[in-house]
Structure 1
Amino acid sequence: MTGGDERHAEAIWKAVLALIGLNVLVFTVIWAGGTLGAAVSGAGWNPPPFTASTYGKLASEGVAAVWPGSSPFVVWTVVAFVFALAAASALLGYLWVREKFRKPEGLARRKDLEVLARKGITARARELRPSLKGKEQLHPDETGNLLGNLEPSGVELRSSFEDVELDLMAPRAGKSTGIAIPRVLRARGAVLLTSNKSDVFAVTRAARAKKGNVWTFDPQGIAHAPREMWWDMLATCHTIEGARRLAGHFVASVNDDSSKKDFWISAAQNTLTALFLAAARGHASLNDLLGWLADPADRTPIDLLRDGRMAAMAEQLQGTVRGAVETRDGIFETARQCVACLLDPEILAWLTPDPDLPEFRPEEHVLSRDTLYLLSKDGGGSAAGVIAGLADATLRAGISAAERMGGRLDPPMTAVLDEAANVCRISDLPDLYSHLGSRGINVVTLLQSYKQGSRVWGEAGMDAMWGAATIKLLGAGLDDADFVEKVSKLVGQHDVSTDSVSRSKDGTSRSVSYRQEYVLPADRIRALPKGTALLLATGIRPALIRLRPWYKEPNASTISAQAKREFEAITARAAFKWDTTKSSRT
């Protein structure tokens, strides 16, 4: 038999099967409608056998032979009604399925995202993590970071352990439930989380405590966690670079745009750099440092710098002190404003050595499976400078550890910088993005909008972070028209066909023309449903994904019960603190 004969025979068989299926469908509707019609006409409910003989008897002998005593008119009327109902249901079902699983033309399909699907991401994980060598079966969380499920196919997508992520979503669009909490719960290595709320802490603390130690740095009582640790803030200030970085974090906490520093801000940062360096080299305390700021004439920091062989820095500080009184006082007042949060004894206590409590050491944390929660309020009086300093120290400790391990942390470290623009203003975070992923440090920065990031890091800094992020998720509620328009252009255009009919005396002609339309116009990007996000991954066409909130996962009931107990504990601690404060006032 030739190939053409085989195809012909196959076509015949398909036609026969289709005809049989159509007859079964028609008979099913007639059987159900006729039985119902007979009952309506008074002949009672008496379904005939669902067999081919019944079908043949109906065709040859009529309704009376199949449903004795029934009215043929009523039977066929009801059959017609059932036919119409079935057709309408099928049409509505088809429209619902098409709408639910419809994907705008031009977005990535399943085959475009194979590198982020299970097989591709597993292969990449084996390349990046030597510890996986020899393991045949890998837990999905060992292979990459969960992003969500591709719409509409539902394929699970993950980023690799060398990706760094930037997520932009409006408030209550799923940043915490769909990104921050799942990322913390699923992390295999050390975790760093910054936030100005207690929700992520409450949901994840119990689960993380089973994997390692939990360090909670909560100087302003966001979760009213008891002080069970302390951090030596000056430990990073034994070099000029370290002192300048810490000073920069405090300056950034009061400066809306780190790319725009006036004379007073720059001079205050130089002065704080010198004072931090003097305190670290001279083994002075933070209380001593605050005293130097309060009294510019105090020569102690200058002498400590000279004793520490920092003559040039000592001369610079002395020049500031000996300058015009108005200028000197302006510089020192600006510096005092930058570190004003240290005047709060409750904040200072977390930075003061305590022999009864363990010291948090970033260099040890990054090699563990522990979790560090950094909680702070935003706005005036916040501890954002301290939070940024500790987060930066931990990230840099991770970089150093990765270099000692051959270039990459294994297992990778997870850093979720929630509310980064408010409580974690690391001034050079955009520059760090370019190589954190290559060190096995998976950073996720969560912002409410592109403009929010631009106000902190400047347009150039935000552009650099956007370009360095290998994974970008854009969620619901992005109202920045210019930014959304740019994203629409990035997603691109596709061809749309238009049929046109022209009539003339010579007859009717039909033609098809094509025009280009945006795959996702700006208004559709802005109106993305909650729980969905536009995925922009390096080297891959944009895709629409559905986030995976923690409360929809199989272990949600256990985590929910733990979170309930944690929230109750937070409420109890808050009430106790309120009662204590009220009693002391009385």
Structure 2
Amino acid sequence: MSGARSGDLHEQLPWAVAALAAGGLGLFAVAWTGGTLGAGVTGHGWQAPPFALSTATTLAGEGPGTLWPGAPAGAVYGGMLALLTLLLVPVAVAVRLLVSRSARPKGLAGRRELAAMCPKGITARARELRPSLEGREQLHPDETGNLLGDLAPNGPELRSSYEDVELDLMAPRAGKSTGIAVPRVLRAQGAVLLTSNKSDVYAVTRAARAQAGRVWTFDPQGIAHTPRAMWWNLLGECHTIEGARRLAGHFVASVNDDSAKKDFWISAAQNTLTALFLAAARGGASVRDLLGWLADPADRTPVDLLREAQLIAMAEQLQGTVRGAVETRDGIYETARQTVSCLLDPEILAWVTPDPVLPEFRPDRHVLGKDTLYLLSKDGGGSAAGVIAGIADATMRAGVVAAERMGGRLDPPLTAVLDEAANVCRIADLPDLYSHFGSRGINVVTLLQSYRQGARVWGEVGMDALWSAATVKLLGAGLDDADFVQKISTLVGQHDVRTPTVNRGKEGTSRSYSYRQEAVLPPDRIRALPKGTALLLATGVRPALIRLRPWYKEPGAGAISAAAKAETAAITERAAARLPAAPVVALEKWNRPARDAGPV
């Protein structure tokens, strides 16, 4: 080992001497030229001293007075410094570019490959997609596309177009809310739809969105403890068989972990709910009436209403279910009752029951303006996920209808941020609708904690379809599914790594190179992505690493933060007002002196 190191030093010594000599010569050339420029500019002549070793010795020993007679030393040194700075600036820029390029893992996309998502490219695309921008020379960046983040390590910012639909997979507390959901809501140009099981995004964005348009807060389970100030007609979309079946599917999906796998009871319950929703909508009945029909299978009212509406086949099917074997009928109805059990809660039921005092939320009107709809619901038992999925689906379908009337695309686009989509907004056929939404100017962003979470809701086939339909995918920190991360590493690809080999012999030393394939991003690096960064997979380009842009680091964050604190305080106050008073017995128990306390 020592012999090898001595050989390396012996080989490198001539190069070190040559580099030192070249550096000294370059530094002397800068001093000689800069001193002459400084003397000449200040009016003390352009006579340059000899370009010789004696001049360097004189400058180092006696200063510039002898070499540039009459010229102030400050002027001479100023000229040297100015020239040195002028030469170092491009060198520093070049070094920075080289460092930036070397800092990005080889094999990932750079500025050139992502030109269509950079400011100039995305602006050109926005002018093609949005007729309302025609004739305007200057556009605000938020009018051109949806901000994704900055290309790592030093930019530029990247945006998706208004025909892209997005799927984001990140672990909890990896930046989904601060880096994706909140910025999308704040920067939206048209109407907004947001689903969530927490009040954080609502608290941060509500004040800002109130300045853009009306804020509708659908909060049947008191996530933000907002008083009911609206209602939505649950049966409004059920006048057609398609609309009734879709609503029934939302309630079924809220209790069925895999919508791709429906047993007999689930399928039969969906068919029964479809008939009951259709009967209630066509017959002018209420949701309370529908719950009564479910409680009493022998009630012939829905069958009669379907017959009066000339829906004979549907009436016969419902009647066949009612007249079937008692065990089968009761099993079907009990399954149906379980799917809509959240409507038994009078507080939830009030949000979907007509109220002459409060305004009605109309999806068809919402998508044409700049209003914001917050859909808040808990997950788990008693969740209103079926209702949330129903109103979200109705709003996005209204956007499709409005887009068709506009010539094919909404302008400005509708922004739909489906946070916690696997828990509170299970739209069974979302994977099939994804690409269609993008072509209609409906920017859907689905946020999931993992690929497996989506597969649990839509099945492996459905999740594969959702993955394929999403034109933009962001994979953030904390992805712990080994199989999935391995697949992503394979998708990112491999690159050539050059390995040098030094051979020493009697005839001298020779160097050869060999190449091997290595993963651009091994699975362990994907799993260990730092918080605030994400792997960008966009259709048609190589993967890239981006840095998310949290809302609290953007201009104007101070005002937004102040509004968020005020809203959070209001939520806390409303929550405290709704809490029941503690029982006196409990207070006496905890305030009892220690000497009176008996054994536990």
Asked if structure 2 preserves the Cα contact closer than 8 Å seen for 1:110 and 1:153, the reply is no
How do residues 60-75 of structure 1 correspond to structure 2 at under 5 angstroms?
60=61
Paired position in structure 2 for 1:87: none
Paired position in structure 2 for 1:552: 553
3-state SS of 2:159 partner: strand
1:60 to partner: Cα distance = 4.2
3-state SS of 1:111 partner: coil
3-state SS of 1:355 partner: coil
Paired position in structure 2 for 1:489: 490
Asked if structure 2 preserves the Cα contact closer than 8 Å seen for 1:101 and 1:152, the reply is no
Separation in 2, partners of 1:508, 1:434:
60
The 3 A distance-change label for structure 1 pair 506 and 234 is same
1:17 to partner: Cα distance = 10
Asked if structure 2 preserves the Cα contact closer than 8 Å seen for 1:493 and 1:516, the reply is yes
1:465 matched to 2:466? The reply is yes
Question: What's the TM-score once normalised by structure 1's chain length?
Answer: 0.84
Letter paired with 1:526: R
Paired position in structure 1 for 2:374: 373
Question: What's the TM-score once normalised by structure 2's chain length?
Answer: 0.83
1:315 matched to 2:298? The reply is no
Paired position in structure 2 for 1:37: none
Separation in 2, partners of 1:461, 1:234:
27
1:507 to partner: Cα distance = 4.1
Paired position in structure 2 for 1:358: 359
Paired position in structure 2 for 1:278: 279
Extract structure 1 runs of 4+ deviating beyond 6 A.
Answer: 15-18, 22-25, 580-583
Question: Structure 2: which 5+ residue stretches go unaligned?
Answer: 1-20, 32-53, 64-94, 588-600
How do residues 77-156 of structure 1 correspond to structure 2 at under 5 angstroms?
98=99, 102-156=103-157
Separation in 1, partners of 2:24, 2:442:
57
Q: What per-residue deviation string (whole Å, max 9, x for no partner) do you get for residues 184-229 of structure 1? A: 0000100000000000000000000000000000000000011000
Asked if structure 2 preserves the Cα contact closer than 8 Å seen for 1:192 and 1:371, the reply is yes
Letter paired with 1:257: D
Paired position in structure 1 for 2:504: 503
3-state SS of 1:395 partner: helix
Separation in 1, partners of 2:153, 2:574:
45
1:373 to partner: Cα distance = 0.2
Asked if structure 1 preserves the Cα contact closer than 8 Å seen for 2:534 and 2:546, the reply is yes
1:504 to partner: Cα distance = 3.9
Asked if structure 1 preserves the Cα contact closer than 8 Å seen for 2:232 and 2:360, the reply is yes
The 3 A distance-change label for structure 1 pair 192 and 61 is closer
The 3 A distance-change label for structure 1 pair 105 and 289 is same
Q: What per-residue deviation string (whole Å, max 9, x for no partner) do you get for residues 290-320 of structure 1? A: 0000000000000000011111111100111
Paired position in structure 2 for 1:342: 343
Separation in 2, partners of 1:506, 1:296:
99
Letter paired with 2:308: D
State, as a whole percentage, how many aligned pairs show the same letter. Answer: 78
Asked if structure 1 preserves the Cα contact closer than 8 Å seen for 2:100 and 2:153, the reply is no
Separation in 2, partners of 1:438, 1:167:
19
Letter paired with 2:273: L
Paired position in structure 1 for 2:260: 259
Paired position in structure 1 for 2:416: 415
1:508 to partner: Cα distance = 3.4
1:20 to partner: Cα distance = 4.7
Letter paired with 2:359: P
Paired position in structure 2 for 1:225: 226
RMSD of aligned C-alpha atoms? 2.8
Asked if structure 1 preserves the Cα contact closer than 8 Å seen for 2:100 and 2:154, the reply is no
1:505 to partner: Cα distance = 4.5
1:175 matched to 2:156? The reply is no
The 3 A distance-change label for structure 1 pair 58 and 22 is closer
Separation in 2, partners of 1:121, 1:244:
39
Separation in 1, partners of 2:563, 2:370:
20
1:557 to partner: Cα distance = 0.1
Asked if structure 2 preserves the Cα contact closer than 8 Å seen for 1:101 and 1:153, the reply is no
1:435 to partner: Cα distance = 1.1
How do residues 278-317 of structure 1 correspond to structure 2 at under 5 angstroms?
278-317=279-318
Asked if structure 1 preserves the Cα contact closer than 8 Å seen for 2:28 and 2:56, the reply is no
Separation in 2, partners of 1:256, 1:404:
36
Letter paired with 2:307: R
Question: Structure 1: which 5+ residue stretches go unaligned?
Answer: 1-14, 26-52, 63-93
Letter paired with 2:212: K
Paired position in structure 2 for 1:89: none
Separation in 2, partners of 1:61, 1:358:
90
Letter paired with 2:176: K
Asked if structure 1 preserves the Cα contact closer than 8 Å seen for 2:195 and 2:419, the reply is yes
1:434 to partner: Cα distance = 1.6
Separation in 2, partners of 1:356, 1:259:
41
Separation in 2, partners of 1:560, 1:55:
61
Separation in 2, partners of 1:357, 1:236:
20
1:264 to partner: Cα distance = 0.5
The 3 A distance-change label for structure 1 pair 292 and 580 is farther
1:582 to partner: Cα distance = 7.7
3-state SS of 2:304 partner: helix
> What is the number of residues matched between the two proteins?
519
